[in-house]
A and B are shown apart, each in its own frame.
Chain A
Amino acid sequence: MQVFDTLVLPKCRVAEEAIYCWHDIIKNRIGAFADPFLGRWLDDTASAERFENALNGVIDDLEGFSPVRAIEELQPLTSMTEPVRCDLIANLARVFQRDFNLSHRRERLRAVSSPLIRCLHQCIDFRTDSTQAALFSQLRKIAKTAQIELETLPRGFWLPRFESDSSTG
């Protein structure tokens, strides 16, 4: 099990998008809405498109969890001399590359998001009165799997666990 810290402030855009996907949409809409309400949400194509774009955006931009992105958000660090700032960025980027398991995470997320988006499109474009219940049931099941995977992402910027207590994590 990999252990890490999460920098909650300042806000991490990609973390917020990930939470929007698994919490606001998958858990609170796809998972919680009864069929008629889920159908109505799916018929609002703008909402479904927003979700699809957000999900793809998270997977495409997992680098957004890097503490290097936090550096861009922190005003004090903008006043550092350029060589020191470059060192800071390089050192944190190296730790992120080494420990975040970026490509493995992306692979796993793609493995759950592709069937989810396919099923979402089926529900939007091809459902009929007779197939709706089965399609929705399938959508909820696939979405739950995606939710579990998305929940493994940090809730803010990823930070390496400080060494002195990494043994306790």
Chain B
Amino acid sequence: MKVVTFNCDSKIREGRAQCGLDGDYRGGLTALRNEPGPILAVWHGEFGEGIDAFLSDDSKRYVLLLGESIRPINDHDDLGRRFPNRLRSFQLGRQELWENHPLWKRLALVRFFRAVLLVSTTVPPWTFLSPRSAPEFVISCYLCTLAGIKPESAWETDFQQEVSFWSAEAGRESIISWEDRADAAKLRAFLANVGALAVSSGNRMGDAGV
């Protein structure tokens, strides 16, 4: 699948090589109208008329919107229903440098673009951009620690991605690193901080009248 980026340099400039992408396309979306699909256009900004026309032209056209305060788009909202499985968004903050974006977001984009460019695919693998459902590697380390077992060294990369993702989602600076993988107090504080673990004051056993 052909991938063309528009105005994305401010977001992913230093990450282009990792993602396998060329520089920004200098023409507008209309200049691509005679190109045969499938094409994925990566657009820095909000949905607009140009994108609407681009997607309406051909069912083998796809758009990924990147932006600072962009809203999530899926197949259940109005825009998503109009272009099912062909339009998605991915929020990237105001950071100027690629390295300053959260690690999980950089890795998600790299994996996504590599899959689009290198694997024979007819539809972009949007799930690569989906947030995680639970900080599984951090939880796993915490359970190991509670059980007096050393966490697996092979978990390092995934652990770091999760910490990056959940810290970014919680809007907080990360308070743990891989070095803390066996530090029960820090792991617990992190899990509580991102809402994966609830700290209870008691079970009220004995309070309930039977």
Contact = CB atoms under 8 A, between A and B. Distances in A.
A3 B134 contact: no
Contacts of A77: 140, 143
Interface stretch (B108-116, B118-126, B172-180, B196-204): B196-204
Contact of A145 (B147, B195, B206, B210): B210
A165 B184 CA distance: 11
A76 B158 contact: yes
A121 interface: no
Contacts of B134: 9-10, 74
B53 interface: no
B209 A145 contact: yes
Given A79-B154, A156-B198, A162-B185, A67 B203 contact: no
B79 to A, nearest CB: 29
Given A77-B143, A92-B143, A164-B184, 19 more contacts: A1-B206, A3-B202, A4-B200, A6-B198, A7-B197, A8-B195, A9-B133, A10-B139, A76-B158, A79-B154, A88-B143, A108-B208, A148-B207, A148-B208, A154-B200, A154-B203, A160-B146, A162-B184, A162-B185
Contacts of A95: 146-147
A167 to B, nearest CB: 13
Interface residues of A, number: 47
Contacts of A130: none
30 contacts: A1-B206, A2-B202, A2-B205, A3-B202, A3-B203, A4-B203, A5-B200, A6-B198, A8-B195, A9-B134, A67-B146, A74-B139, A76-B152, A79-B152, A79-B154, A88-B144, A88-B149, A91-B149, A92-B143, A145-B208, A145-B209, A152-B207, A152-B208, A154-B200, A159-B197, A160-B146, A162-B188, A164-B184, A165-B185, A169-B201
B190 interface: no
B20 to A, nearest CB: 27
Given A10-B133, A76-B152, A5 B202 contact: no
A154 B198 CA distance: 10
Interface of A: 1-10, 67, 70-71, 74-77, 79-80, 84, 87-88, 91-92, 95, 101, 104-105, 108, 111-112, 145, 148-149, 151-156, 159-160, 162-165, 169
Interface of B is mostly: loop
B152 to A, nearest CB: 6
B102 interface: no
Interface of B: 133-137, 139-140, 143-144, 146-149, 152, 154-155, 158, 184-185, 188, 191, 195-210
A7 B139 contact: yes
Contacts of A3: 200-203
Contacts of B143: 67, 70-71, 74, 77, 88, 92
A152 B205 contact: yes
A1 B203 CA distance: 7
A5 B146 CA distance: 12
A95 B209 CA distance: 27
Q: What are the nearest 9 A-B pairs in CB distance? A: A9-B134, A91-B147, A76-B140, A1-B202, A9-B196, A6-B198, A148-B208, A149-B208, A10-B134
B184 A7 contact: no
A163 B183 CA distance: 12
Contacts of B203: 1-4, 152-154
